[in-house]
Amino acid sequence: MDTPLAPERPLPYYARSNRPRDLAEELGLAEASLLARHDGSEVVRLRPEKAALLGALPALGEVLSLMRNEVAVHETVGQFGGITIEGSSALVVNPPLDMRLFLGQWRHAFAVEIPDEAGPRRSVQVFDAAGDAILKVHLRATSDVAAFETLRGALASEDGAPLAVSPRPCAPDPGRPADPDAFRRDVAGMADIHEFFAILRRHGLDRRSALDAMDEAHVRPLETLATTRLLEASAASGVPVMCFVGNRGGIQIRSGPITSALAMGPWINAMEPGFTLHFREDLVGDAFVVRKPTRFGLLTSIELYAADRTLAAQFFGVREPGRGENLAWREMTGTL
């Protein structure tokens, strides 16, 4: 739960120049709690009706979709569409937007409209049970404001109770498979990359611990500066990459070329038309080249983990469905 500094006094949401995430941390609050405590029409709490909320996003038109974790921030410009929902999972496939959403983690949502000299800044923001941001959908100049107002009115919550947040889930402890040889045989026998998740469940492993148990043919540790080197190598070679960044509530993916890697303070940044990646290499705990078997041959990824052993980002080579990976990508990752 939050440690409130002044529980009865409404907190200003946008009066300071701090980013909301930073302001919430400064005040000892979850970011969702900061929004919920704002006193004014600028922030409207929404009912967490996930299918209805997702279904209303395409009408907004072109938006900036932002997904982040402690290490990486992934921003893609596009329009929501191609939405399919199965149980507690959903897909958004409307290039350039490409997302995997874990709706069971979606607990709180807000429609936000902040006045600004350049015009109101409007967004739809979704948070998990701990009050951490899962997804922020920012309207752009060409977005449909009427659709935003309709969404806000249709889903506005009348729940006036204080927002309840839960402690963040504990970081996974390092684990070992009960039968390391059986685990390695299962990995070596994979025909599809998605079989990896079933193997993890079968052997009681989290993703990070699995890398410790894999053999040298399938995993190689890297220095934590791997992101900069990867982005620079992609820019120099023209080899396109798939960039995955996610959190407990979803994953956002971008496929395409990288033309530059710019350092700004502690951040390394890739800034492309319609896409921006911000990455804190100083917060990376571990980095690896991972090679998973498939019926089309090995698929190579670069995986970056935060200090708490959670996955911060993954990079793959762009490839056609039903084809092996781009050999130029494989060669490039071999130089890292």
- Provide the 8-state DSSP code for 156: B
181, containing H or E segment: helix 180-188
Residues in Cβ contact with 157 at an 8 Å cutoff, skipping those fewer than 6 apart? 44, 45, 46, 47
Peptide bond into 96 cis (omega under 30): yes
List Cα–Cα distances, 166 to 23, 130, 201, in angstroms: 19, 5, 25
Q: Kindly indicate the confidence band of residue 174, based on its pLDDT and cuts at 50, 70 and 90.
A: confident
Average pLDDT over residues 34-46: 90
**Which of 13-22, 54-63, 195-204, 310-319 is the least confident region?**
13-22
Q: Kindly indicate the confidence band of residue 4, based on its pLDDT and cuts at 50, 70 and 90.
A: very low
Average pLDDT over residues 226-231: 94
- Grouping H, G, I as helix, E, B as strand and the rest as coil, residue 327 is helix
pLDDT in tens, 98-121: 999 999 999 999 999 998 888 899
Are 270 and 260 spatial neighbours (Cβ–Cβ below 8 Å)? yes
pLDDT in tens, 175-210: 899 999 999 999 999 999 999 999 999 999 999 999
pLDDT score of 320: 85
Count the neighbouring beta carbons within 10 Å of the beta carbon of residue 166: 12
Question: 20-83+106-155 and 180-334 share one CATH topology?
Answer: yes
Average pLDDT over residues 114-130: 93
**Which of 59-63, 260-264, 284-288 is the least confident region?**
260-264
pLDDT score of 101: 98
Q: Enumerate the β-bridge partners of residue 139.
A: 63
Q: ∠ CA(126), CA(38), CA(245), 5° rounding? A: 25
27, containing H or E segment: helix 20-27
Mean pLDDT of the chain: 92
Residues in Cβ contact with 64 at an 8 Å cutoff, skipping those fewer than 6 apart? 75, 76, 77, 137, 138, 140
Task: Go through 122-148 and write b for each residue having 16 or more CB atoms within 10 A of its CB, e for each that does not.
Answer: bbbbbbbbbbbbbbbbbbeeebbeebb
pLDDT score of 7: 47
Are 261 and 269 spatial neighbours (Cβ–Cβ below 8 Å)? yes
Nearest residue to 166 via CA among 40, 32, 323, 306: 32
Average pLDDT over residues 141-165: 94
pLDDT score of 118: 85
φ/ψ of 242, rounded to 5, equals -100, 125
pLDDT score of 17: 59
* Residue 318: pLDDT over 60: yes
* Residue 6: pLDDT over 60: no
Rounded CA separation 104/132 (Å): 14
> Whole-model pTM?
0.92
Domain 180-334, what fold? Heme iron utilization protein-like fold (3.40.1570)
pLDDT score of 12: 57
List Cα–Cα distances, 167 to 27, 34, 90, 132, in angstroms: 16, 16, 25, 10
Average pLDDT over residues 140-150: 98
Residue written as token pair 């899962």: 134
* Residue 261: pLDDT over 70: yes
* Residue 11: pLDDT over 90: no
* Residue 264: pLDDT over 60: yes
Residue written as token pair 């600004």: 116
Domain locations in the chain?
20-83+106-155, 180-334
Domain 20-83+106-155, what fold? Heme iron utilization protein-like fold (3.40.1570)
Q: Kindly indicate the confidence band of residue 8, based on its pLDDT and cuts at 50, 70 and 90.
A: very low
pLDDT score of 110: 97
